[in-house]
């Protein structure tokens, strides 16, 4: 009886460990891009400029919701019919009275991790068109780990 219990325990363990063996998956991901922008001005102004631009960029961008600390939007284009989800958060920088804006664009469909800069451009084009890049203290923080392929991106 003891042997049987041990055997079944081992067998169950074997099944569990087999299930834990990673199955090779195709090289498809929900590509994403995360960026951070800094401004000298207060978050309320920065957020107003961004929301205004999202509304002005309809129908390519759709404003989904506006909360005190963040904004949700959708992006779609003929190139990416499944679209991308955009979340932009605003954090007042206490010491300087400025604003830190952190943005994420994520592909809804499965794509290659190298998305041709699509997610980066979704964010860049909004910030560029809104005039936020001319705001005092504007600074962009971005890296390859958080936004793969952004260096290759040519945003139009
Ligand atoms: C935004 O995109 C999501 C996911 O595709 C969708 O479910 C939602 O209805 C969209 N919202 C608006 C306001 O378009």
pLDDT over 60 (residue 12): no
pLDDT per residue over 29-61, tens digit each? 788 999 999 999 999 999 999 999 999 999 999
Around ligand 1, the residues with Cβ closer than 6 Å are 62, 64, 74, 83, 108
Q: What is the pLDDT of residue 72?
A: 98
What does DSSP assign to residue 96? Answer: T
Contacts of 43 (CB under 8 A, 6+ apart): 90, 91, 92, 99, 101
pLDDT over 60 (residue 4): no
Q: Nearest-CA neighbor of 111 among 144, 75, 84, 86?
A: 84
pLDDT over 90 (residue 108): yes
- State phi, psi for 111 to the nearest 5 degrees: -135, 175
Q: What is the pLDDT of residue 136?
A: 95
- Is the whole model's pTM more than 0.85, yes or no? no
Of the candidate ranges 5-19, 47-61, 84-98, 141-155, the one whose mean pLDDT is the lowest: 5-19
Indicate the pLDDT class of residue 111, thresholds 50, 70 and 90.
Answer: confident
pLDDT over 50 (residue 16): no
| Mean pLDDT across the chain | 85
Distance (angstroms) between ligand 1 centre and the Cα of 90 equals 21
Whose Cα sits closest to atom 6 in ligand 1? 74
Sequential DSSP letters for 16-75: HHHHHSPPP--S-B--EEEEEEEESS-HHHHHHHHHHHHHHTTTTEEEEEE-SSEEEEEE
């Amino acid at each position: 009886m003891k042997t049987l219990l041990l055997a079944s325990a081992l067998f169950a363990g074997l099944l569990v460990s087999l299930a834990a063996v990673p199955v090779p998956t195709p090289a498809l991901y929900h590509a994403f891009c995360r960026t951070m922008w800094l401004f000298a001005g207060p978050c309320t102004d920065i957020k107003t400029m961004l929301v205004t631009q999202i509304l002005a960029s309809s129908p390519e961008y759709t404003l989904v919701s506006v909360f005190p600390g963040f904004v949700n939007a959708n992006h779609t284009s003929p190139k990416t019919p499944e679209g991308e989800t955009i979340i932009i958060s605003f954090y007042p920088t206490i010491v300087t009275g400025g604003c830190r804006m952190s943005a994420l664009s994520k592909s809804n469909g499965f794509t290659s991790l190298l998305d041709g800069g699509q997610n980066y451009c979704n964010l860049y084009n909004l910030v560029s068109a809104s005039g936020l890049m001319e705001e005092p203290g504007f600074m962009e923080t971005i890296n390859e780990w958080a936004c793969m392929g952004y260096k290759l991106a040519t945003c139009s």
